[in-house]
C-alpha cells in the first residue's frame, strides 16, 4: 500500500495532519490535501514547472505544510530561508536559487523593505497583510482538483554559512518521479528509528521548519499517516506540556534542547506525564556524554541518536542500549558507507581521527559552486560533510568536531567541541562556544564565550570557578586563555552555533588593535 498524504486524505480525511502546539489550530489530512492541490494549481498558473524554484520565509505556522505538499506534487523546488537572516542574506539566497517568487508573512515586515530594494523585480506574496501582494487572495482563486502532471518536488536547503556565504544543497533528482513513491527517509524512519506506519504516530517538531531535520522528519511522519504537532517556538516546559497534552509518541531534538531541559527545576521536569513518549531522536551536533546519560536516565532508553546532514549523503544511528555500551558514539551506518580518511585521502585504521566521508549512489551538488562540490569529494567518489571523527573496532562512529572549527594554537590542533561539552555540564552554564582568536605568540588562542544561567554570576570569581572545573579534565594547552560572558550566543534554533560571527568579531578586534599599535 502506498504511504502518502494523498492516500491518507482518501482513507482518513478527518484525521489531524497538523496541530499547532501553542494555539491548538488543526488541519486534517483532507484539508491538507485540498490546500496542497490548490497551491499546486497556483504554482502552475504562475508558470512554475519541474525543477523551478520558489522561496519561503515563514515562521512555524500551519500553512507551511500547504506549501511543502503542494510543491511536492508539482515537481518544484522549495527553498526554505532562515528567519534570522538579514535582508542582504535573504536576497543573496533568492538570487542564487533563481527563485521565481517569495512567500512570506507580515511577521517579517521589518526585513521585507530591504529585500524589495535588493530584488525589485521579484514577486513577493505576503500572508496576513492584505493588499495587492496578499498570498491568501491569490491562493483562494485556484481550485482543489489535482494538477494533471504531478511529479515529485524537491527541497533545496542552504547551509548556515558558517564559513562564508551559504551554499545551496541541490539534491539528486528522485529515482522515481511519482510523488507517492517511497523515499530513503521513509525506510530509515521505519527500519532505523522504529517509527510506526499504521497512522498511530504523534510526532512533535520543536524546531523551525526551515531546517533539514524538521522539514524532513515532519514530512516523513505525514507519509506514515502520523499527526505532526508543531511548536511555534521551543520552550522547554512548553515542550514537556505538549508531549503530555497531545500524547506525543515520537520527537526530534538537538543537544541544546536537552541542556535546557536539564536546567529546569526538577519539580517542573517531574510534573508532566511523558508516558506516551516512545522514541526521541536527536542529532545536529555531538551530545555531551553526561547530558545524554542524564536524558536516558530521565526519559528511559528511548533516546536514539543519528548523524547526518542537509546533504543527505548518509546516516548513522545508535539506540540507547548500544550508546550505553559505546558512550559518545553516533552509531553505525544505516544509509551509505562510512570511510574515515587522512589528509592524503588514505583510509585510516580504527581509533584514528580523520575526515569522515560517506559512500552513496545518490549524492547532491552545491548549487552554483562546483569548487565547493569538488572540495567535498574524495577521489573515490565519496562525499564529506566536513566533520572529523573515527570508527572503533566494531564500526561505531565517534565525532570529534567540525574541520572548520579546529583551533591551531602553538602548532597544536585543538577541537573546541571537547571544551564546549565540558562547559555545558557545569550547573551555572547555559551555553558555551569555544573559538580560536588571533594571537601574535601562538597563532590562535582558545577563547570560551559563555552564557551563564544567571548573568549576575559573570565575573572573575565565576571564571576562576570554571577554570577549576575544567583543570582536572582538560590538558593545559586546551584551557581557554580568555572567558567572555554574554547573555546569549548566536545559535540557530536547530542548535547550530554561528561561530563565524564570534570569530569575525575577535578578528576585527585584533585588526583594530594592530592598526592602533602601528600608528602609535
Q: Which CATH architecture has domain 29-178?
A: 3-Layer(aba) Sandwich (3.40)
- Type and span of the H or E element at 183: none
Contact 452, 427 (CB under 8 A): no
The pLDDT tens digits for 43-91 are 999 999 999 999 999 999 999 999 999 999 999 999 999 998 899 999 9
Q: Is the pLDDT of residue 22 over 70?
A: yes
Contact 307, 330 (CB under 8 A): yes
Contact 412, 391 (CB under 8 A): no
Cβ partners under 8 Å of residue 265, min gap 6: none
- Type and span of the H or E element at 337: strand 337-341
Domain boundaries, given as residue ranges, for the chain: 29-178, 286-403, 406-514
Give the residues across from 18 on adjacent strands: 27, 228
User: Average per-residue pLDDT in the chain?
Assistant: 93
What does the pLDDT read at residue 370?
93
Specify the pTM. Answer: 0.88
Distances (CA, A) of 382 to 90, 178, 371, 476: 31, 28, 15, 37
How many other C-beta atoms lie within 10 A of the C-beta of residue 359?
A: 17
The fold of 286-403 is Luciferase; domain 3 (2.30.38)
Contact 253, 275 (CB under 8 A): no
In angstroms, the CA 159 to CA 154 distance is 16
Q: Classify burial at 456, counting beta carbons within 10 Å of its beta carbon; exposed 0-12, middle 13-18, buried 19 or more.
A: exposed
Classify 444 as helix, strand or coil. Answer: strand
What is the DSSP-derived secondary structure letter of residue 113? H
In angstroms, the CA 307 to CA 359 distance is 15
What is the phi/psi pair of residue 159, to 5°?
-60, 160
What does the pLDDT read at residue 57?
98
Q: Which CATH superfamily is domain 406-514 in?
A: ANL, C-terminal domain (3.30.300.30)
The pLDDT tens digits for 85-125 are 899 999 999 999 999 999 999 999 999 999 999 999 999 99
Distances (CA, A) of 363 to 173, 248, 379: 10, 34, 14
Classify 359 as helix, strand or coil. Answer: strand
The pLDDT tens digits for 469-486 are 999 988 888 999 999 999
What does the pLDDT read at residue 515?
56
What does the pLDDT read at residue 157?
95
Rounded to an integer, the average pLDDT of 244-267 is 95
CA atoms within 13 A on the CB side of 84: 14
Amino acid at each position: 500500500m502506498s504511504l502518502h498524504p494523498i492516500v491518507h486524505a482518501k482513507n482518513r480525511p478527518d484525521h489531524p495532519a497538523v496541530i499547532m502546539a501553542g494555539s491548538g489550530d488543526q488541519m486534517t489530512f483532507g484539508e491538507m490535501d485540498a490546500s496542497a492541490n490548490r497551491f499546486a494549481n497556483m504554482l502552475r498558473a504562475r508558470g512554475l514547472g519541474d525543477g523551478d524554484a520558489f522561496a519561503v520565509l515563514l515562521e512555524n505556522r500551519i500553512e507551511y505544510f500547504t506549501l511543502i505538499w503542494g510543491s511536492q506534487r508539482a515537481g518544484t523546488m522549495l527553498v526554505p530561508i532562515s528567519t534570522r537572516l538579514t535582508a542582504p542574506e535573504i536576497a543573496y539566497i533568492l538570487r542564487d536559487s533563481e527563485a521565481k517568487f517569495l512567500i512570506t508573512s507580515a511577521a517579517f515586515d521589518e526585513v521585507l523593505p530591504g529585500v524589495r530594494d535588493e530584488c525589485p523585480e521579484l514577486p513577493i506574496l505576503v500572508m496576513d497583510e492584505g493588499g495587492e501582494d496578499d498570498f491568501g487572495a491569490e491562493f483562494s482563486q485556484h481550485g482543489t482538483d489535482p494538477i494533471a502532471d504531478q511529479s515529485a518536488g524537491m527541497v533545496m536547503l542552504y547551509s548556515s554559512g558558517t564559513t562564508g556565504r551559504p551554499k545551496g544543497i541541490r539534491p539528486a533528482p528522485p529515482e522515481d518521479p511519482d510523488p507517492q513513491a517511497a523515499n530513503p527517509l521513509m525506510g530509515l524512519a521505519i527500519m532505523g528509528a522504529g517509527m510506526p506506519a499504521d497512522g498511530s504516530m504523534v510526532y512533535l517538531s520543536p524546531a523551525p521548519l526551515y531546517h533539514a531535520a524538521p522539514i524532513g522528519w515532519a514530512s516523513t511522519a505525514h507519509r506514515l499517516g502520523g499527526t505532526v504537532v508543531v511548536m511555534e517556538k521551543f520552550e522547554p516546559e512548553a515542550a514537556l506540556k505538549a508531549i503530555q497534552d497531545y500524547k506525543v509518541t515520537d520527537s526530534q531534538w538537538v543537544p541544546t534542547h536537552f541542556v535546557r531541559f536539564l536546567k529546569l527545576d526538577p519539580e517542573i521536569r517531574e510534573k508532566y506525564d511523558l508516558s506516551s513518549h516512545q522514541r526521541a531522536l536527536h542529532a545536529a551536533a555531538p551530545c555531551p556524554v553526561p547530558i545524554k546519560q542524564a536524558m536516558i536516565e530521565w526519559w528511559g532508553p528511548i533516546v536514539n541518536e543519528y548523524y547526518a546532514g542537509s546533504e543527505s549523503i548518509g546516516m548513522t544511528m545508535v539506540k540507547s542500549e548500544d550508546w550505553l555500551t559505546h558512550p559518545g558514539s553516533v552509531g553505525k551506518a544505516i544509509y551509505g558507507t562510512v570511510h574515515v580518511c587522512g589528509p592524503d585521502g588514505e583510509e585510516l585504521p580504527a581509533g584514528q581521527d580523520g575526515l569522515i566521508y560517506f559512500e552513496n549512489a545518490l549524492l547532491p551538488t552545491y548549487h552554483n559552486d562546483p569548487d565547493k562540490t569538488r572540495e567535498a569529494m574524495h577521489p573515490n567518489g565519496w562525499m564529506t560533510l566536513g566533520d572529523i571523527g573515527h570508527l572503533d573496532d566494531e564500526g561505531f562512529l565517534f565525532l570529534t568536531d567540525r574541520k572548520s572549527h579546529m583551533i591551531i594554537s602553538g602548532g597544536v590542533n585543538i577541537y573546541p567541541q571537547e571544551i564546549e561539552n565540558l562547559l555545558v555540564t557545569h550547573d551555572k552554564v547555559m551555553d558555551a562556544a569555544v573559538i580560536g582568536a588571533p594571537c601574535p605568540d601562538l597563532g590562535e588562542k582558545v577563547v570560551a564565550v559563555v552564557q551563564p544561567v544567571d548573568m549576575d554570576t559573570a565575573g572573575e570569581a565565576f571564571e576562576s570557578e570554571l577554570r577549576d572545573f575544567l583543570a582536572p579534565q582538560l590538558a593545559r594547552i586546551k584551557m581557554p586563555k580568555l572567558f567572555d560572558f554574554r547573555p546569549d550566543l548566536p545559535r540557530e534554533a536547530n542548535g547550530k552555533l554561528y561561530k563565524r560571527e564570534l570569530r569575525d568579531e575577535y578578528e576585527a578586534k585584533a585588526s583594530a588593535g594592530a592598526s592602533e599599535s602601528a600608528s602609535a
